[in-house]
Amino acid sequence: MFANLLIILASSLVVIALFRRLRLPPVLGYLCVGLLVGPTAFDWVNDSEDLPDLAELGVVFLLFSLGLEFSLSKMLALRHVVFGLGSLQVLCCGVLLGSLLAIFGMPLGAALMLGTGLALSSTAIVSKELTSLGEIFSSHGQNAIGVLLFQDVVAVLLLTLVPVFAGHSEQAWYWALPSTLGKTVVLFVGLLLASRWLLPRLFHEVAASHSAELFVLLALVIVLLTAWLTHLLGLSPALGAFLAGMLLGESHYRHQIEADIRPFRDILLGLFFVSIGMLIDLQLFASHGLLILGLTLALLLIKGTVVAILLKLRGSDGETAWRSGLALAQGGEFCFALMAQMQQGQLMPAEISGLLLAATFCSMLLTPLLLRAAPAIAARLHRKPNQEARLEEISALTAELQGHVVICGYGRVGQSIGRFLRREQQHFIALDDDPVRVREAAAGESCVHYGDSRRGDLLTAVGLERARLVVIAVDKTDIALLVLKEARRLNRQVPILVRTRDDSQLAELKAAGASEVVPELLESSLMLASHALIMLGVPEQQVQAKVDDVRRDRYQLLHGFYHGAQSNLMDNNGQPRVLKHAVNLGPDAHACYLPLSALGLEQLGAQVQCIQRDSKELSADTATRLQPGDTLVLCGPLGAIEACEARLLSGL
């Protein structure tokens, strides 16, 4: 067991690092690791009874995290998607795929059961990718999650029915179905009562102890206990974990719980994807490659089209319909368990099982790429007459505007800017891609529209060529950069103000055409510091001059921070944060009696912010000679600081 884990984790470390370099989704990397270490490739990993259990825990933790995002109130709002669209999708896809299997020679009952299994999608992959892409609360994201939740219930029912159809169960199907549904209701009621009466008191007591260790332990116990109780009832542990997370979603401790279990979730989920890859027989690709390719494309085409048609009939726009279809087009991990049971029950031959498993695996392998390419694919599959009509409507509404402000991103920051503009009677048009936010805002403000600010045609429709100012207030810097480039392409002269979290990409944004970049964290630090100085009696004009100097110097004074035990040394983009570190020079330090210019510290990537000598602060002049007892405050990434410290102390 330990050797297997070591091989899997070491292989994953190498492959995931390579996939990060290639900008490919980590899920693909884990699936490829499973293929490589599996019995039909290098055969590095032996059969282990513990590995599938560990892998299943990954899905349990994922569904619990997802439940934290979808609280009970949100799930009630999604009930029409879960039970309406979900039941229609499973029914239509199951009947269609089952009929095709029956045409090719499978018994009708087994064909319909397997067709229903193929109608189910991969909860693990779709949830993980939608979360990483930030699309979990988009229209197509909510459609996908709602359908996947219904599919999880259907998966449990199908596993219950396999022994019945194989003749190995004494219970008839008309008793098995209500029994499973009844257990689900009992589980939900029990978890609801626990979340209302027991869990808040437990979390309050643990939070009062101020022990991070206890908090992590309580979160892990809740996840594992819920999965175990659900398993005892004969239901899916992942479904129980989702229900527990959903009921805790309204708790004040939701974000802390999610942060605590994330490391366990990501590693165990990686093991799950590796275990899926290990089930595939590579020899089948050599002998039946074209057939597997045809089955994969047929599965993706049938399921994606059915979902898109159902959503169009329910009144969704074309883009949402096709993107939902692409998200749910693949086969799911449940098919592996279903086909294994059906093969044991002699309901299907091993040859068909192997081919369908390979096709299901390939569809799962393509899903992360399909989700990333979904906007372009949806645009090709659907010419979007609704969208064109919306563009014409927006163009008509803004045709008379001249010298207005365009706000890209209408979250907290965008709305604050809009309020100030409205107070000054300045006209503005705001764009946002959150349908719920736009619906709420549009009810009281006619100047807010739904759309992706990265689209040039939408920016043209809101009159960017005639705008007096563009404000990019989206939360993610990489998206802000794309919006900036598109806006600058359409209008070379308009001033563009960009809001970012920090100044890690300030130079890149300036090079792309930003007139001003406002780092939110640094600006809030400046405001607090200026208020502190004013409260200490420093003249307001002097404080303003200091603040202006810091801005003019591109926030150099505020760069870096002394990290603590809980600090994350990587930013949201996976890049090293700029840190501060103090190095004290002892009498034997290499740098003593040498000028700063002779040490070449800046070439190592760090900057000397100041020198402390005899409780006085000296400027970091290159001609300054260092003395024993001096303390140098370094600023830069962790690796550069470590290199500078080594050079200062030992000359390396």
Q: What's the pLDDT tens digit per position in 367-392? A: 988 888 887 777 676 554 455 556 77
Question: In which domain, by residue range, is 551 found?
Answer: 519-555
Angstrom CA distances, 139 to 88, 269, 321, 379, stand at 18, 25, 9, 16
Co-location of 190 and 263 in the same domain: yes
In the structure encoding, which two tokens stand for residue 438, read together? 């736009």
What is the rounded average pLDDT for all residues in the chain?
82
CB atoms within 10 A of CB 166: 15
What's at 169, amino acid-wise?
S
Report if residue 562 sits inside a domain.
no
pLDDT at 339 over 60: yes
Report whether pLDDT(508) > 90: no
Per-residue confidence (pLDDT) for residue 646, from 0 to 100: 85
CB–CB of 371/130 below 8 Å? yes
pLDDT band at 306 (very low <50, low <70, confident <90, very high): very high
Residues 366, 456 share a domain: no
Q: Which of the listed residues 463, 486, 514 is the one where a domain comes to its end?
A: 514
pLDDT band at 115 (very low <50, low <70, confident <90, very high): very high
Rounded Cα distance between 204 and 206, Å, is 6
Q: Does pLDDT of 342 surpass 90?
A: no
As given in the structure block, the two tokens for residue 277 are: 């890859």
Neighbour count for residue 286 (Cβ, 10 Å): 8
34-76 tens-digit pLDDT: 888 888 888 888 766 666 776 777 778 877 877 776 667 666 7
Q: What is the mean pLDDT of residues 441-459?
A: 82
Domain boundary pick from 338, 353, 381: 381
Tell me the pLDDT band of 165, cut-offs 50, 70 and 90.
low
Residue 140 lies in a domain: yes
Same domain, 231 and 245: yes
Do 358 and 468 lie in a common domain?
no
* pLDDT score for 325: 93
In a domain, 240, yes or no: yes
CA pair distance 38, 31, nearest whole angstrom:
10
Strands (E), 501-602: 516-519, 579-584
CATH of the domain at 635: 3.30.70.1450
pLDDT > 70: percent of the chain:
88
The H helix count followed by the E strand count for the chain is 27, 10
What mean pLDDT is predicted for residues 580-603? 84
Please tell me which residue, 617 or 288, carries the higher pLDDT value: 288
Reading the block at residue 204, the tokens are 């309050």
Model confidence band, residue 166 (pLDDT cutoffs 50, 70, 90): low
For position 163, what pLDDT does the model report? Answer: 67
Same domain, 328 and 460: no
pLDDT of residue 303: 95
Say how far apart CA 323 and CA 325 lie, in whole Å: 5
Of 546, 491, 488, give the one whose Cα is nearest residue 514: 488
pLDDT in tens, 384-431: 445 555 677 788 888 888 899 999 998 888 888 888 888 888 899 999
Residue 231 has pLDDT above 70, yes or no: yes
473 and 601 fall within a common domain? no
pLDDT: which is higher, 468 or 547: 468
Token reading at 499:
């809001």
pTM value surpassing 0.75: no
Q: What are phi and psi of 96, to 5 degrees?
A: -65, -50
Tell me the average pLDDT across 593-621: 82
Domain boundary residue among 355, 381, 407? 381
Same domain, 537 and 606: no
Of the candidates 133, 132, 106, the residue with the CA atom closest to the CA atom of residue 118: 106
Say if residue 402 is in the same domain as residue 484: yes
CATH number of the domain where residue 339 is located? 1.20.1530.20
Q: Find the Cα–Cα–Cα–Cα dihedral 486, 491, 496, 498, rounded to 10°.
A: 0
Residue 566 lies in a domain: no
Q: What is the pLDDT of residue 176?
A: 66
Residue 574 inside a domain? The answer is no
Tell whether the model's pLDDT for residue 562 goes beyond 60. Answer: no
Q: Do 92 and 216 fall into the same domain?
A: yes
Indicate whether 307 pLDDT > 90: yes
- Is the model more confident about 212 or about 322? 322
Whether 567 is in a domain gets the answer: no
- 475 and 537 inside one domain: no
Q: Of the spans 58-72, 222-236, 282-296, 536-550, which averages the highest pLDDT?
A: 282-296
Mean pLDDT (whole number) for 522-544: 83
d(CA 512, CA 483): 10
Question: Do 451 and 403 have their domain in common?
Answer: yes
Same domain, 510 and 524: no
Residue 161 has pLDDT above 80, yes or no: no
Q: Are strands 616-618 and 448-450 parallel, antiparallel or unpaired?
A: unpaired
Token representation of residue 171: 């219970």
Q: Is the pLDDT of residue 565 over 70?
A: no
Give the DSSP letter of residue 614: T
- What CA–CA distance (Å, rounded) separates 493 from 50? 63
pLDDT at 96: 95
Task: Report if residue 590 sits inside a domain.
Answer: yes
Query: Confidence band (pLDDT; 50, 70, 90) for 566?
Result: very low
Residue 635 lies in a domain: yes
- 567 pLDDT higher than 50: no
- Nearest of 332, 435, 324 to residue 381 by alpha carbon: 324
Residue 339: how many CB atoms within 10 A of its CB? 23
Determine which of 488-492, 523-527, 559-563 has the lowest per-residue pLDDT on average. 559-563
Most confident range, picked from 281-285, 360-364, 388-392: 360-364
Of these ranges, 45-54, 324-333, 494-503, the one predicted with the greatest mean pLDDT is: 324-333
Specify the number of domains making up the chain: 4
